[in-house]
Amino acid sequence: MAAQNGKDLLLKVDLNGSGLFETVAGLRATRISFNAETVDVTSLESQGGWRELLAGAGVKSASISGSGVFRDAVTDERARQIFFDGETPGFQIIIPDFGIVQGPFLISSIDYAGSHNGEATYEISLASAGQLSFTAL
């Protein structure tokens, strides 16, 4: 399998709740992490004293982070609105030549920064807020 271009890892937001997804403007770096808590069911009867985990019982979650150049685009305005209104709209994460992860996310933080001789930048963090779906590409 060939290496994938990092710029093709995209974060898209549903602009108005109708399924109209648009790429979040200005991102230079994006990261998605999947997590599953474990439920330990080890007991004195566990074979050989090895830990046993209960399959499918832990809480699953995903987190997304990204950073980039502030563009003052429609998606920036939407992200600000989502944060201040505490909404959990649909997002899509496009993982090149792998698939699309889609579902509700809460924007847990937005940081803006800038220096007098550079561009305005931002960092954004999101946490999954419901069931996610995966569609293979």
Distance between CA atoms of residues 129 and 82, nearest Å: 13
- Whether the Cβ atoms of residue 100 and residue 63 lie closer than 8 Å to each other: no
Yes or no: say if 28 and 69 are a contact pair by the CB < 8 Å rule.
Answer: yes
CA angle 57, 65, 24 (to 5 degrees): 120
| Per-residue pLDDT, 137 | 87
pLDDT, tens digit, 9 for 90 and up, residues 28-83: 999 999 999 999 999 999 999 999 999 999 999 999 999 999 988 899 999 999 99
Q: Report the C-alpha gap between 25 and 88 in whole angstroms.
A: 19
Q: What is the pLDDT of residue 29?
A: 92
pLDDT of residue 1: 64
What are the structural domains of the chain?
A: 6-33+63-136 (2.30.110.20)
Read off the pTM. 0.87
Question: What are the tens digits of pLDDT across the range 96-134?
Answer: 989 999 999 999 999 999 999 999 999 999 999 999 999
